[in-house]
Amino acid sequence: MIHRQMTFYDHLRIAWIHLRERKRQTILTALGVAVGSAMMITTIAVARGSSNNVFTKIIDIAPHITIGADRVVPLVPENVIGIVPGKVAMVEKHVTTDRRDVIKNFSEVTGAIAPIREVVDISPYVSSKLLARNKTRFAPCIARGIVPVREANMANLKKNLVDPNALSELAWTPNGILLGGLLAEKLKAGYRDRIVLVSKSGQEYPATVVGRFRSGFNAKDLREAYVNIALAQRMEALPSNSVSGIGIRITDIALADLLSARIERMTGYNTESWSETNRNVIEFYNRNAIITLVLVGFVFVVAGLGVASVMTTIVLQKVKDIAIMRSMGVQRGSITRIFMLEGLMIGFMGVLLGSPVGHLVCKLISDIRFPASSAGVISADRLNLVETPDSHVIVIVFGILIAVVSSVGPARRATSYLPVRVLRGEVG
């Protein structure tokens, strides 16, 4: 009988001898874990890069907070006579059903939120759905009436200009229009070309193209244009003190939700942060990232089955050795730990190889360049990858855990044999 209890080193030495005797199977199984690790790291980087690219674009091309024309605190109508308890209010004139909701006296609203320390830029705007025409070419578009000086940094418009001086030229061209790059291509409209804007009432407004912009969002570049706010108010039949909405940029986008609620209480108008406005897009990309990770996780499951297969083979080949060790007094726990250490060693070798390979694959993919396409949501000439140390840590831990868990079954099987039956030749 063995009187000395087996140490961790004894367990590790026996496990290593078992794996060394089956080099080919051990290496192939470790490579399976390595491939799973590399794929998982690459997939996490691609998923994060895709989501990050979309979120960055959304933040760059839109206000952080938008004040809409819908009121959460109703105004007292101007045509109501008397506000005395116990008396009936009378209406002077009928309210028309086609009346458009607007922010009246928008300068008062902007003046109320301007003192907020976190607010950087405030830009009122008027949205107008139009039909743009250039000779025989037509295209629907949304013209956003702006104050060029205020809008320059609101949606990074100045940074996205194809023609550097277009925004300043728009400021001193009353009937100027700044077209999205794809919209300009669709209309075949170039610099200083004269196009016609047709409003929903059928009225025509001539406009001069002063430049183009490219935001990277294909839908925006194909559908949107910028005009001066006075022209948009004229097309929408709005007074000069009314706008469709107000855009706000702040110092820290993480505060957007809190400031949005605060501004809504101050102004009484419905206010949304960028995350509320784009909630569907954000949820879509987050769900896609989770689904992709789950699918790639099955690669690890396959690698785990490979580990279990190798461990089962080793157990079957070492039945007599196990019986001899048991008859010499080696405890069941020691036998289990030996085979679980073998799974741990296979997993460790796999992730140790898979982590740098995953990093190399990410580097190769990020260096690939291809022609930007207008077919998708975002126009890009590369795949944006976001590779972080925590993704490597997660994959390494997950890979080792899968390998160890996969070795539990064979390890328990190794301790289930009775030494007497094995030595009699009844097993193995």
Write down the pLDDT at residue 140. Answer: 94
CA distance 366 to 386: 9
pLDDT tens profile 176-224: 999 999 999 999 999 999 999 999 888 999 999 999 998 888 888 999 9
Write down the pLDDT at residue 3. Answer: 46
CA distance 227 to 188: 18
Write down the pLDDT at residue 322. Answer: 72
Write down the pLDDT at residue 80. Answer: 53
pLDDT tens profile 73-83: 665 555 555 55
Q: Is residue 1 very low, low, confident or very high in pLDDT (cuts 50, 70, 90)?
A: very low
Does 67 score more than 90 pLDDT?
A: yes
Distances (CA, A) of 285 to 76, 281, 288: 42, 6, 5
Average pLDDT over every residue of 85-102: 60
Average pLDDT for the chain? 82
DSSP 227-280: EEHHHHHHHTT--TTEESEEEEEES-GGGHHHHHHHHHHHH-EEEEEHHHHTHH
Provide the residue type at 158 as one letter. K
Does 244 score more than 90 pLDDT?
A: yes
Does 158 score more than 80 pLDDT?
A: yes
CA distance 332 to 57: 59
Distances (CA, A) of 361 to 40, 369, 384: 11, 15, 13
Q: What is the pTM of this model?
A: 0.69
Identity of the highest mean pLDDT range in 89-103, 232-246, 311-325, 327-341: 232-246
Instruction: Give the domain ranges of the chain.
Output: 8-59+281-423, 63-79+99-277
Residue 285: CB atoms within 10 Å: 19
Average pLDDT over every residue of 149-155: 86
pLDDT tens profile 250-297: 998 889 999 999 999 999 899 999 888 888 877 877 787 788 778 777
Cα 96 from chain centroid (whole Å): 43
Q: Which residue has the higher pLDDT, 382 or 133?
A: 133
Residue indicated by tokens 């569907």: 280
- Closest to 56 (Cα-Cα) out of 290, 253, 330, 335: 253
CA distance 372 to 212: 17
Lowest mean pLDDT among 29-38, 98-107, 395-404: 98-107
Token pair in block for residue 258: 């809190």
